[in-house]
């Protein structure tokens, strides 16, 4: 299953805001379309945003000037604009930086050559993401035992990446290994219900035993000894191992720690931001109040004049994380030392 397609130099994406009721594919024709798709969460998931953004820049180049000096200036502005779509997921900036570096290396050539270089880099980012998903699954599958009951939060599968996913890729691999002898609990993940709408949809498609629970059910389920492990993703991981993920993750981590349940974060190397010393420096996106006041932007569940606090993410301190599963290996405490050892240096 894939949620973006790049064919004959045209970019298509599955509009995730319409799932699970409809499977609607749209075409991204220019930078404006791409910005809107990312901002409105029609395309979401940290790794997928990066891949999609790279392709968006590539297809938009044909609309830029044929004069190199103007072309390069317009390209720089396009990168800046797309990078402002969402501030927390570092994969977006990682992918755009790779595009920028590729273009800079080719800037002595003509505009036509630069366009080709940017497109090749976008394709490379796409292929790499698929491979990273496979490697994360291979690294993490050994952490799951037959019969495990696993809690996950938000969505981390093929709707969040261009491969099998991050945390869900690990779960998919375990389900295959144990012939579905496990159970996955998907938090609904308010306010946009990515767990209920997207994770449950992916699990259903793969026929993996699962149940959707309200976000506020997780702790009582842990207390009843109904959860063995927690697996979820991240949008940005600081140098000390603090991890930003969908709002509500922090609460799950606290409950898991109290009940002595292993809590695993699964993310590729591109999600690590070693320029940040801790999670306190991670920018947290504030989103439209109507996402809380309404369900699916349709059904009002709060007074229209109600004030709303709607951060898209929270930060889980490293002491609540049992281990971080990356494509390069499993990272355990002390994180500041071991992240450098496993991930190495990173440009972000």
Q: Domains in the chain, ordered, with CATH? A: 4-134 (1.20.120.420), 139-343 (3.40.50.10470)
CA angle 339, 122, 22 (to 5 degrees): 95
Whether the upstream peptide bond of residue 334 has omega within 30° of 0, thus cis, is: yes
Separation CA 289–CA 311 (nearest Å): 10
Please pick, among 235, 242, 273, 314, the residue that the annotation labels catalytic: 235
| Average pLDDT in the chain | 96
The Cα 82–Cα 262 span in angstroms is: 37
Output the six-digit token pair for 323: 């281990």
**Above 50 in pLDDT, residue 279?**
yes
Inter-residue contact 86 to 285 (CB < 8 Å): yes
Q: Catalytic annotation on 138? A: no
* Contact present, 33 and 42 (Cβ < 8 Å): no
Cα separation, 280 vs 316, whole angstroms: 10
CB neighbour class for 341 (10 Å; exposed up to 12, middle 13-18, buried from 19) = exposed
Tokens describing residue 46: 């940290």
Q: Confidence band (pLDDT; 50, 70, 90) for 254?
A: very high
Say if CB 88 and CB 244 are below 8 A apart: yes
Q: In sequence order, what are the residues at sequence separation of 6 or more whose Cβ sits closer than 8 angstroms to the Cβ of residue 289?
A: 306, 307, 308, 310
Q: How confident is the model over 59-64, as a mean pLDDT? A: 95
pLDDT average, residue stretch 268-283: 97
Whole-number Å distance between alpha carbons of 232 and 262: 11
**Backbone Cα Rg of the chain:** 20
Dihedral sign computed on CA atoms, order 103, 109, 113, 117: negative
Return d(Cα 68, Cα 118) in angstroms, integer: 14
Average pLDDT estimate for 263-289: 97
Distance from C-alpha of 24 to C-alpha of 253, rounded to nearest angstrom:
34
Overall residue count recorded for the chain in this entry: 348
Q: What is the pLDDT of residue 234?
A: 98
**Helix 167-177 × helix 111-140 angle, to 10°:** 50
What are the pLDDT digits (tens) for 120-155?
A: 999 999 999 999 999 999 999 999 999 999 999 999
Please give the pLDDT value at position 336. Answer: 95
Which percentage of the chain shows pLDDT scores above 90? 97
Q: Point out which residues pair with 151 in neighbouring strands.
A: 185, 230
Q: What is the pLDDT of residue 2?
A: 86
- What percent of the chain has pLDDT above 70? 99
In this prediction, residue 347 has a pLDDT band, given cuts at 50, 70 and 90, of very low
Is it the case that residue 1 has pLDDT exceeding 80? no
Contact 211, 185 (CB under 8 A): yes
Distance CA 68, CA 61 (A): 12
User: pLDDT value at position 298?
Assistant: 86
Provide the pLDDT confidence category of residue 258 given band limits of 50, 70 and 90: very high
Per DSSP, what are the bridge partners of residue 323? Answer: 264
Residue with tokens 């796409």: 126
Query: So what's the pLDDT on residue 348?
Result: 60
Give the pLDDT of residue 346.
58
> Is residue 212 predicted with pLDDT exceeding 80?
yes
């Amino acid at each position: 299953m894939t949620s973006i397609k790049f064919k004959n130099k045209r970019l298509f994406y599955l509009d995730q805001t319409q799932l699970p009721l409809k499977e609607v594919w749209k075409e991204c024709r220019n930078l404006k379309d791409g910005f809107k798709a990312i901002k409105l969460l029609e395309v979401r998931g940290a790794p997928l945003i990066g891949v999609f953004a790279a392709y968006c820049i590539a297809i938009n180049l044909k609309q830029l000037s044929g004069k190199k000096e103007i072309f390069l200036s317009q390209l720089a502005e396009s990168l800046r604009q797309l990078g402002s779509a969402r501030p927390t997921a570092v994969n977006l900036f990682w992918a755009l930086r790779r595009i920028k570096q590729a273009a800079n290396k080719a800037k002595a050539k003509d505009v036509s050559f630069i366009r080709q270089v940017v497109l090749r880099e976008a394709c490379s980012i796409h292929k790499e993401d698929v491979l990273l998903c496979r490697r994360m699954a291979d690294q993490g599958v050994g952490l799951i035992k037959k019969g495990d009951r696993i809690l996950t939060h938000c969505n981390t599968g093929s709707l969040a990446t261009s491969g099998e996913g991050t945390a869900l890729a690990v779960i998919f691999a375990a389900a295959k290994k144990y012939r579905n002898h496990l159970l996955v609990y998907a938090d609904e993940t308010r306010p946009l219900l990515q767990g209920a709408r997207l994770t449950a949809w992916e699990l259903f498609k793969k026929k993996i035993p699962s149940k959707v629970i309200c976000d506020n059910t997780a702790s009582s389920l842990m207390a009843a000894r109904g959860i063995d492990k927690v697996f979820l993703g991240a949008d940005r991981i600081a140098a000390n191992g603090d991890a930003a993920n969908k709002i509500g993750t922090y609460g799950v981590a606290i409950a898991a720690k109290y009940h002595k349940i292993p809590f695993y974060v699964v993310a590729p190397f591109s999600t690590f931001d070693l320029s940040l010393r801790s999670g306190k420096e991670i920018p947290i996106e504030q989103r439209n109040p109507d996402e809380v006041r309404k369900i699916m932007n349709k059904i009002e569940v709060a007074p229209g004049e109600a004030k709303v606090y709607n951060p898209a993410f929270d930060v889980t301190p490293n002491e609540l994380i049992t281990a971080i599963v990356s494509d390069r290996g499993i990272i355990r405490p002390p994180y500041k030392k071991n992240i450098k050892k496993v991930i190495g240096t990173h440009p972000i």
